[in-house]
Amino acid sequence: GFRSNNIDPNARHCMASAVAGFMRTFGIDEPMGCYDDCEHADAFVLWGANMAEMHPILWSRVTDRRLTAKHVKLHVLSTFTHRSCELADNELIFKPQSDLAILNYICNHIIQSGAVNEDFVKKHVNFRKGVTDIGYGLRPNHPLEQVAGNNGYPGADGKPKGAPDASAPISFDEFKAFVAEYTLDKAHELSGVPKDRLEALAKVYADPKTKVTSFWTMGFNQHTRGTWVNNMIYNVHLLVGKISEPGNSPFSLTGQPSACGTAREVGTFSHRLPADMVVTNPKHREISEKQWKLPAGTIPDWVGLHAVAQSRALKDGKLNFYWTTTTNNMQAGPNINGEIWPGFRNPANFIVVSDCYPTVSAMAADLILPSAMWVEKEGAFGNAERRTQFWRQQVKAPGQAKSDLWQYVEFSKRFKVEEVWPAELLDKAPEYKGKTLYDVLYANGQVNKFPLSELQKGFDNDESKELGYYLQKGLFEEYAEFGRGHAHDLAPFDIYHKARGLRWPVVDNKETLWRFREGYDPYVKKGEVVRFYGKPDGKAWIFALPYQPAAEAPDAEYDLWLSSGRVLEHWHTGSMTRRVPELYRAMPDAWLYMHPDDAKKRGLQRGDTVKVMTRRGEVATKVETRGRNKPPLGLVFMPFFDEQRLVNKLTLDATCPISKETDFKKCACKVVKA
């Protein structure tokens, strides 16, 4: 429509590193396993994932397996003790950023102990060495970026300084030599984890008789080397061949509902198109333009602004119109004081927020569009096991609230093609002259071809009834064509309203539980056993990548690590959950979790009001020394659900230079009595 790629999903803050990791290692996005792995694994390893609070339903399956099968063990890696650790057989509390070293140590242990699945590796794996001097995704004028040689930012000559995603082929022997320095002693020294615990973890992966499922979420993804750690956990599983079969699964869990479906699969990242295609690939743009009935050259070939870059551009006055839906960036985004608030208050900018609640972002906006919630419209989810699920509208939206989809469709009616397309583009499709974007994008004989008679009787569908055709079905079938025959197959629309979700690829109405494995995946031919078909030669990539320090670490003045995250009672920024009386009473405020000895050292007691300060701002809250979260000495944890205590005033807007996802898990702070 507007020929802009400046669109990005909330998933940039939670799943972008997972996407980049999948694409680099396998050439195709989303997990190869499914939730059924919970019933087949002999060992579970949690990397930066507090599943007990963040994935409680899935955690119940892990718990059931752990408690009913006596041989099953649980290993939990985290920078602080939390509720998932209560079930752990092996708890590994490591220093922030040292997960990189631990992963390389495990690979070294596997190689040195002769546990490499040599036949699997020879047939199904290639080795690569990634560039390393990639910076930290900060502004180009930051000292760390000025000295980085491969961050992709313009250099003195105006040309990009390398590419953070670049890599080169190496041999297995070169990979072996690369990880050799990551000995047990070095991993212990960098991580602070006792040697016996590190070794116990490594032996689990190395044991050919033990099926291992690794789970991770924000601890991995919200990381200045988030893409790397995703690549590196795949390194471990690929070396031993523990992948793509029941119970053997490196499993990236999503941070929010439909991060897979709404963001990743349909391609709402600033660089992506549907079905893993990208805007920089001419062939991908051609396919998309044909499917959407657009003239050649409609889709720009440049990568749009990602979420953090959008905030910076608003502040700098380079972006002047900002429409945000289904997210609350003024609370959830990093470095609010320095990068987000100034852009919202820039008088040259116009900020629109579509939401159901008066969030922090909504209250700072120029225009609020009241929006319908999920049960007030018909829609679809795509979850972490590739399961696509539909639901029908259950109730009417209150007042003047309208769904996001209705808003987009109505917005498109306000613009004629001549207002947004150059003349040379319109000359390629003269039949569009005088038409609105609505006519081109929706009333195009493709989206609007399903009649209202196909709606399920007994259910409302406000958007469709207003337009006179089954809007959701038309959009879905148009989108589904992108993936059919390309290993992203979806079933026909009507099937999903009869099934309780199906895991793609869905071929001949049959779902796929484990991808890349013969007998489960229809895209793996008989006799191939395993084929990572996202890569042209069917082989996954193992990456040689080093340990590197965080962008900001404690020093004499700011002497503590600060980590942020979630709690069981509240979802993300608490827009809904803080308005539920029972949940609010259970967890009314975001306190600062601190080790008792760190509190004592500062003359603090549980319940004292303190100021938490970083180089970017300060917030006041109370100290908790006996709560469910138990940080080690030198680290404090504060949730981000509380709009009265915005921890993201404190966080650093450093990102993974490859995925552009923010590292909310580590920056330096100090704590003083208020």
- Cβ pair 42, 212 in contact under 8 A: yes
* pLDDT score, position 4: 95
CATH number of the structural domain spanning residue 619: 2.40.40.20
Q: Is residue 1 part of a domain?
A: no
- What is the rounded CA–CA span in Å between residue 237 and residue 127? 14
* pLDDT score, position 262: 84
pLDDT tens-place string over residues 44-70? 999 999 999 999 999 999 999 999 999
Same domain, 476 and 602: no
* pLDDT score, position 11: 92
- What is the rounded CA–CA span in Å between residue 633 and residue 222? 22
* pLDDT score, position 261: 87
List, in order, residues 6 or more apart from 668 with CB less than 8 Å away: 552, 553, 554, 555, 558, 559, 560, 561, 562, 614, 615
Q: Is residue 184 part of a domain?
A: yes
* pLDDT score, position 255: 84
Q: Is residue 137 part of a domain?
A: no
Asked if the model's pLDDT at residue 279 lies above 80, the reply is yes
Same domain, 319 and 449: yes
* pLDDT score, position 385: 96
- Cβ pair 483, 490 in contact under 8 A: yes
Q: Is residue 497 part of a domain?
A: yes
Q: Where are the beta strands (DSSP E) in 331-429?
A: 350-355, 367-370, 379-382, 387-391
Same domain, 171 and 308: no
pLDDT band at 191 (very low <50, low <70, confident <90, very high): very high
Reference 170, options 538, 532, 544; nearest CA is: 544
User: How many domains are there within the chain?
Assistant: 3
CATH number of the structural domain spanning residue 239: 3.40.228.10
Backbone angles phi, psi at 670, to 5 degrees: -135, 155
328 residue type, one letter = N
Q: What is the dihedral of CA 62, 63, 67, 72, to 10 degrees?
A: 30
Alpha carbon 479 to chain centroid, angstroms: 22
Q: Is residue 523 part of a domain?
A: no
Same domain, 189 and 267: no
| Burial class of residue 244 in the structure, from the number of CB atoms within 10 Å of its CB (0-12 exposed, 13-18 middle, 19+ buried) | buried
Q: What is the pTM assigned to this prediction?
A: 0.97
* pLDDT score, position 124: 99
| Structure token pair of residue 140 | 């180009």
Averaged pLDDT score across all residues of the chain = 97
State mean pLDDT over 282-288: 98
Alpha carbon 114 to chain centroid, angstroms: 35
* pLDDT score, position 475: 98
State mean pLDDT over 611-637: 98
Same domain, 469 and 588: no
Domain limits for position 615: 560-673
* pLDDT score, position 256: 83
State mean pLDDT over 494-519: 96
Beta bridge partners of 543: 128
pLDDT tens-place string over residues 553-592? 999 999 999 999 999 999 999 999 999 999 999 999 999 9
Asked if the model's pLDDT at residue 243 lies above 80, the reply is yes
Helices 99-112/184-191 angle, 10° precision: 170
Reference 632, options 593, 595, 671, 669; nearest CA is: 595
- What is the rounded CA–CA span in Å between residue 513 and residue 454? 30
- What is the rounded CA–CA span in Å between residue 102 and residue 616? 31
Say what percent of the chain tops pLDDT 90: 97
Asked if the model's pLDDT at residue 20 lies above 80, the reply is yes
pLDDT tens-place string over residues 321-336? 999 998 999 999 999 9
* pLDDT score, position 410: 98
CATH number of the structural domain spanning residue 344: 3.40.50.740
Same domain, 595 and 463: no
- Cβ pair 523, 406 in contact under 8 A: no
Same domain, 70 and 170: yes
Q: Is residue 3 part of a domain?
A: no
Q: Which of 48-52, 153-157, 244-248 has the lowest mean pLDDT?
A: 153-157
* pLDDT score, position 318: 97
Same domain, 67 and 42: yes
* pLDDT score, position 469: 98
Q: How many CA atoms lie within 13 A of 275 on its CB side?
A: 20
Same domain, 408 and 479: yes
Q: Is residue 433 part of a domain?
A: yes
Asked if the model's pLDDT at residue 552 lies above 90, the reply is yes
State mean pLDDT over 334-348: 97
Say what percent of the chain tops pLDDT 70: 100
Same domain, 362 and 223: no
Same domain, 314 and 404: yes
* pLDDT score, position 615: 98
In the block, residue with structure tokens 């690929």: 238
Same domain, 195 and 78: yes
* pLDDT score, position 1: 73
Q: What count of other Cβ atoms lies within 10 Å of the Cβ of residue 107?
A: 26
pLDDT tens-place string over residues 63-108? 999 999 999 999 999 999 999 999 999 999 999 999 999 999 999 9
Number of residues in the chain: 674
Asked if the model's pLDDT at residue 214 lies above 80, the reply is yes
Backbone CA torsion sign across 387, 393, 394, 397: positive
- What is the rounded CA–CA span in Å between residue 34 and residue 12? 23
Q: Is residue 429 part of a domain?
A: yes
